[in-house]
Amino acid sequence: MPWLEVHQLVVAFPTSAGWQKVVDGVSFSVEREETLGLAGESGSGKTLSLMALGALIPPAGRVLGGQVKVDGVDVLAAGEAELRRIRGGVLGFVFQHPALAFNPVLSLGRQVTEAAVLHGVSADDAKVQALELLTLVGLVPPLEFFRAYPHELSGGQIQRAALAAALSGKPQGLVLDEPTSALDPLAQASFVHLLAELAHRFHLALLLASHDLPLIAGLCKKLVVLAAGETVEEGLTPQVLQEPLHPATVFLTGGTGGKADLLPGRVQPAWRSSNNAAFQGEAPPPAQANAGKEGSLKAPGIPVAMGCRFAPRCPWVFARCLQARPALAPVGDGRRVRCFLHHGESNDG
């Protein structure tokens, strides 16, 4: 059993037309002290998937399916006591725009000590620990930053303060959502170096969501790619980045082209295989050929009801893509992909 596991997560929000699934089929797992990157464009489901780890989905949203387990706890069925242990005590969270996570009328020190106090550390000991953490993250002299207020810090400093607060409860892992998006290149490089040092020092697992592929490549052993609210590819980071299989990953890594042959590093596509009767005669038409047909999509990004959610944006789409949803299936040692170009399996178990 992995230390952290998300399986077939489904998250929906209410709309005038009913409940809209914005996450539908996200799966990934992390072992202790492992580093995992979640990559995907904006709206792919990264942030909501991270929030689900602490049962932090916004009140309007609802988890409609799937499993979320952290350190042996079924998060979706956990009570408040177990959730308090998870939040801060098992996972330290650093969300995007950390300045919004700090109360502007409370000192930085009070907020950095909060997780430690909530997990049973005395106020005096929590202060000593906070000063040590502020020093470790580079906020020196620590006492000045302990007494400071959030508005007195720069963007890079507030990001480091958020990291110190996340470490206050002595978690087993850090969950970070676009941690360098508001930093300049120099501050980004410094922050990445700091993360690597802290992970090594405290034996932390890292779960990092970002659209910044060089950042993920520098920190994460494994990579999971999300698109249209679901996991579409996973594997070792260098392999996924150098030999992307799913069209969404190809585009994310800068690949272009209109022919399936241009997919780098992929296996012979199933629709061309002479020994695969299910795909014989189904040469993939251009994506535009499906526009306006009954049952096809009217706008990019909205999934076909019965087919592949990425089909409206895929130049390699063919008939089966519009008829069935591909499963997230193994295609090699440690690799899985959700695409009929690489296997014929549908309907995740």
C-alpha–C-alpha distance, residues 246 and 337, integer Å: 6
Task: Using a pLDDT cut of 70, give the percent of the chain over it.
Answer: 85
Distance set, CA 167 to CA 68, 89, 198, 207, 268 (Å): 22, 9, 9, 14, 47
Q: What is the pLDDT of residue 296?
A: 32
Query: Residues 56-70: pLDDT tens digits?
Result: 999 999 999 999 999
Residue 78 shares a structural domain with residue 19? yes
Structure token pair of residue 45: 């489901």
pTM as predicted: 0.84
Residue 255 shares a structural domain with residue 194? no
Q: Over 60: is that where the pLDDT of 278 sits?
A: no
Query: Residues 128-148: pLDDT tens digits?
Result: 999 999 999 999 999 999 999
CA pseudo-torsion sign 262, 268, 270, 274: positive
C-alpha–C-alpha distance, residues 289 and 345, integer Å: 24
Is residue 224 within 8 Å of residue 28, measured between CB atoms?
Answer: yes
Structure token pair of residue 57: 């989905």
Q: Is 234 part of any domain? A: no
Q: Over 60: is that where the pLDDT of 30 sits?
A: yes
Q: In terms of pLDDT, which residue wins out, 181 or 276?
A: 181
Alpha-helix runs per DSSP H in the chain: 46-52, 80-84, 108-112, 114-118, 123-136, 142-147, 155-167, 185-202, 213-219, 237-242, 247-252
Q: What is the pLDDT of residue 108?
A: 94
Q: Is 159 part of any domain? A: yes
Q: What is the pLDDT of residue 305?
A: 56
Q: What is the pLDDT of residue 118?
A: 86
Is residue 325 within 8 Å of residue 318, measured between CB atoms?
Answer: no
Confidence of residue 304 (pLDDT cuts 50, 70, 90): very low
Residue 176 shares a structural domain with residue 252? no
Structural domain boundaries enclosing 270: 243-337
- 20-29, 114-123, 143-152, 300-309: which range is least confident on average? 300-309
Residue 223 shares a structural domain with residue 249? no
Q: What is the pLDDT of residue 306?
A: 77
Q: In terms of pLDDT, which residue wins out, 241 or 269?
A: 241
Domain count, the chain: 2
Residue 33 shares a structural domain with residue 135? yes
Q: Spell out the residues 6+ positions from residue 247 whose beta carbon is closer than 8 angstroms to its own.
A: 263, 310, 313, 314, 315, 316, 339, 341
Q: What is the pLDDT of residue 311?
A: 92
- 121-135, 263-277, 303-317: which range is least confident on average? 263-277
Residue 220 shares a structural domain with residue 264? no
Q: Is 237 part of any domain? A: no
Average pLDDT, the chain: 85
Q: Is 127 part of any domain? A: yes
Q: Is 343 part of any domain? A: no
- Tell me, what CATH number does 41's domain have? 3.40.50.300
Residue 34 shares a structural domain with residue 135? yes
Q: What is the pLDDT of residue 349?
A: 54
Q: Over 80: is that where the pLDDT of 223 sits?
A: yes
